[in-house]
Amino acid sequence: MRAAAATLAGKQMELCYRFGDIHGAKRHMREMHAQIEARRAARDTGCYFTEQGHADGTALRQEADHG
């Protein structure tokens, strides 16, 4: 999802430059970079929900085993 958002922001930046809207182009450039950084951060830290799901699943299995 973020990859698509970054691509869209990049295309919007290009259009702004073509039409001479420098401020709009800079705004879309910042958005593109924010999306890229968010993707990197999510990749580097892992997803909370995935990790929490594994932890919850382990706890539930242990509870079921100990009955």
Contacts of 35 (CB under 8 A, 6+ apart): 2, 3, 5, 6, 9
pLDDT of residue 49: 61
Instruction: Give yes or no for residue 15 having a pLDDT over 90.
Output: yes
pLDDT of residue 29: 96
Q: If phi over 0 gives left and psi between -120 and 50 gives alpha, with beta otherwise, what is residue 20?
A: left
Domain that holds residue 60: 2-66
Number of domains forming the structure of the chain = 1
pLDDT of residue 59: 77
Q: pLDDT tens-digit profile of 16-65?
A: 999 999 999 999 999 999 999 988 887 777 655 666 667 777 777 888 88
Higher-scoring residue by pLDDT: 10, 41:
10
User: Going along the chain, which residue ranges are E strands?
Assistant: none
pTM of this structure? 0.62
